[in-house]
Structure 1
Amino acid sequence: MTSETQNAFQQAQKDVQTLVKKPGNDVMLKLYALYKQGSAGDAGTERPGGFDFVGAAKYDAWDALRGKSAEDAQREYVELVKSLQAGG
């Protein structure tokens, strides 16, 4: 993983906190999943159950990225944050 990608990923984590408009739930889930895949790798085997609907949705979004490299996930995260900053 290049340090350039890692630096951009860390900066995007800061930038997402300063977005003027909060993204919708679908985009928030994508941001979460890309962040987790880029920082922790594949999702674990313990999917939240019962009435933890938010936890289950987050897990499913993350698990959908299983096998994606951390660097690819970080790049996509950075691109998504940039598009949100541009009003996309």
Structure 2
Amino acid sequence: MSDLDEQFEQAQADVKTLSSKPSNDDLLTLYALFKQGTAGEASGAKKPGRFDLVGRAKYDAWTKVAGTSKDDAKARYVAEVDRLLGR
């Protein structure tokens, strides 16, 4: 396991320790970076219907990071968690 993978796993644990819930924008950013870092491009995922507002927002956030490599997405996820934790 690489150092980046270890940092990514630690960030996943650390994000659960936040004292307050992040904003919806922050949550969508975390979701998108997590999905891009673990699953890759959203192009293979089925686009949610127009009445699934939450699913659609998540999908749209994920497609905004299209083209980002898995490693870059993981690094950005770690940086985002660090920012939310005030590090």
Tell me the TM-score normalized by structure 1: 0.92
Question: Which structure carries more helix by proportion?
Answer: 2
Match of 2:49 in 1: 49
Query: What is the CA RMSD across the aligned residues, in angstroms?
Result: 1.4
Match of 2:9 in 1: 10
Match of 2:76 in 1: 76
- Greater than 3 Å deviation, 4+ residue runs: none
Match of 2:66 in 1: 66
* Secondary structure of residue in 2 paired with 1:22: coil
Letter in 2 for 1:12: A
Q: Distance in 2 between matches of 1:55 and 1:23?
A: 18
Deviation of 1:66 (Å): 1.1
Q: Distance in 2 between matches of 1:72 and 1:63?
A: 15
The percent of aligned pairs where both chains have the same amino acid is: 52
Deviation of 1:50 (Å): 3.1
Q: Distance in 1 between matches of 2:31 and 2:16?
A: 13
Match of 1:33 in 2: 32
Letter in 1 for 2:74: Q
Q: Distance in 2 between matches of 1:7 and 1:74?
A: 10
Q: List gaps (5 residues or longer) in structure 2.
A: none
Letter in 1 for 2:51: F
Q: List gaps (5 residues or longer) in structure 1.
A: none
